[in-house]
Structure 1
Amino acid sequence: MDNYFQTNLSFIELYHLANVSEKIVHTNPSGLDLITSGSDTPIIFQKNKKPVKFQINRNLEGYLVIATTPKNGITKNAVKKVSENAKMHPALYTEYFNSIEGITYRAIDHLQNGNLEKFGLDLSENQQILSKMQLSTAKIDDLIKLAHKNGSLGAKITGSGLGGSIFALMKDYESAVKLERIFCQEKANFTHIISLNEYCN
């Protein structure tokens, strides 16, 4: 939009304007979508902290197969659900949040060191916690089971959950294409393959 209307706004100005619409749609957005969509490298993101860029090991080969379920994930509904449950079960949800943070940093370490198999295990462990937080759905679970059945190293929700999309990690392009075809047969609304190598240093 900035290019089309030739407004010549700075990145900070664009970020703040885009964040207005994010608040309308998501109520209490983290800012993750805005920051990542404007970044040319992977980043470590925590709300109210400065994003930190990091590099993936250049020898790492792997593919993410994205599949979208028929039900849209609505972020503000997921945020509300987690917030309400966290208030009712503060100790349990603190444990969930801490576990997810630990898994995330392990996953970053495995990406930097080129350990694809352990990165896949991180994804699956993360998904188990998201399921305990009631963010998964029957269709998401079906797609993840299908991914594991067909050689996925790990799979999880991407986005807010309660619908939306998942991604599955595959070790090579051939297996990624095969899984994408299977997802299409299972009536996934949208599929796409991303090479991790695109984000290597």
Structure 2
Amino acid sequence: MIAKASAPAKTILFGEHSVVYDEPAIAGAVNKRAYITIKESKSDKSIFRAPDIGFEAELLSKQKKYILTKGKPGIIRYILESLYRAHDHSPIDITLSSNVPIGSGLGSSAAVTVATLAALYRYHNIRFNKKSLAHDAHMVEQAVQGVASPLDTLVSTYGGLVYLSRNKKVEHFKVNFNAPLVVGFTTKHGNTGKMVKDVKNLKNRNPKIINPVITAMGNLTNYAKQAILKKDYNKVGELMNINHGFLDVIGVNTLELSRMVYNAREAGAIGSKTTGAGGGGSIIALCPGKVDEVANAIARDDSILKVRFTRRGVSSRVYK
């Protein structure tokens, strides 16, 4: 039996970091995906392979450990935590294929986690729905990172553009806000767990300064929600630019990220900002009518992806 599953990457439009402190956020699934295939091992060992990134390891799932065969560790922790929670530790082969750059701020860990759990549930014939899958995937991310927002795994599970309120109520945008986006990403990968902890430490050291900034980021997200519902692209772009300034204040932007942000704006983007945890990773640029110009400007120094939002969430099936 072979179980296969895939899940989309995501981009956060508004609310990264502040969402950890119960402020609202807006994020959308994009048309880049992680694909997981699980089948019975031909040996007595469990093996994980990710040929796209040149990674291979033997998995000791019961101990949450691995023996590195080749490549550099990173995404492996999410695989091991998923196996620990949803696998009987029998020998299996797991293969990851992905067109989501690892560590680029597009929620690669969430996409991989959601796809891995969905494939494991199919492999073991465990019944699940999207609500339970999103919850379980969030628990995996939280176990690995220490502190994690439910937003990434929620979007990778359900797809579409979503608003997460202060009381954790999820609203799916019905309006078709499918403006062209350019994602720029650096060779310096961000570490979500580290960045979340760094912001928490900054907040603890300077509560009277950082707490109002976190609240302001939440208020900005609510303004953005109304702008999206009205399809007011210019307002959304303006709010993206302000949001980037807030991310500067909490210390998650880097020289490389800001370089891409300003290159995008100079080339015609109406809004650009860091997306994701920061410390490396990605920026996102809203650029109706200027996609090629913005992409070319960023690509002079960094890598780019042209993306659009997608309504397609997790997908899984079993082959006998």
**TM-score of the superposition, structure 1-length normalised?**
0.86
Moved more, 155-164 or 40-49: 40-49
Listed as ranges, the matches of 1:1-201 within 5 Å are: 1=116, 2-3=118-119, 5=123, 6-46=125-165, 49-56=168-175, 58=176, 62-172=179-289, 175-188=290-303, 191-195=304-308
1:45-78 residue CA offsets vs partner (Å, 9 max, x unmatched): 247622122233x4x6631111111111111111
Q: Residues of 2 paired with 1:8 and 1:181: CA distance?
A: 46
Moved over 4 A (4+): none
Q: Residues of 2 paired with 1:75 and 1:38: CA distance?
A: 19
CA offset at residue 135 of structure 1?
0.7
- Between the two proteins, the alignment pairs up a number of residues equal to 192
Q: Residues of 2 paired with 1:68 and 1:110: CA distance?
A: 26
Gaps of 5+ in 1: none
Q: Residues of 1 paired with 2:268 and 2:294: CA distance?
A: 9
CA offset at residue 110 of structure 1?
0.8
* Residues 31, 47 of structure 1: 8 Å contact kept: no
1:81-116 residue CA offsets vs partner (Å, 9 max, x unmatched): 111111111111111011111111111111111111
Bigger strand fraction: 2
Aligned to 1:62, the other structure's residue is in SS state coil
Q: Residues of 2 paired with 1:19 and 1:140: CA distance?
A: 27
Q: Would the alpha carbon gap of residues 185 and 21 (structure 1) be closer, same or farther in structure 2, given more than 3 Å must change?
A: same
Q: Residues of 1 paired with 2:275 and 2:297: CA distance?
A: 19
> Which AA in structure 1 matches 2:129?
S
Aligned to 1:38, the other structure's residue is in SS state helix
Larger Rg: 2
Moved more, 33-42 or 71-80: 33-42
| 2:103 match | none
* Residues 147, 197 of structure 2: 8 Å contact kept: no
* Residues 69, 165 of structure 1: 8 Å contact kept: yes
Q: Residues of 1 paired with 2:187 and 2:147: CA distance?
A: 25
CA offset at residue 184 of structure 1?
2.3
Gaps of 5+ in 2: 1-115, 312-320
Q: Residues of 2 paired with 1:47 and 1:77: CA distance?
A: 24
Q: Residues of 2 paired with 1:26 and 1:39: CA distance?
A: 22
> Which AA in structure 2 matches 1:120?
G
Q: Residues of 2 paired with 1:122 and 1:7: CA distance?
A: 43
> Which AA in structure 2 matches 1:184?
A
Q: Would the alpha carbon gap of residues 103 and 47 (structure 1) be closer, same or farther in structure 2, given more than 3 Å must change?
A: closer
Q: Residues of 2 paired with 1:153 and 1:11: CA distance?
A: 35
Q: Would the alpha carbon gap of residues 168 and 29 (structure 1) be closer, same or farther in structure 2, given more than 3 Å must change?
A: same
**TM-score of the superposition, structure 2-length normalised?**
0.56
Q: Residues of 2 paired with 1:138 and 1:42: CA distance?
A: 29
Q: Which has the higher contact order (CA 8 A, sep 6+)?
A: 1
Give RMSD over aligned pairs.
2.1
Aligned to 1:21, the other structure's residue is in SS state helix
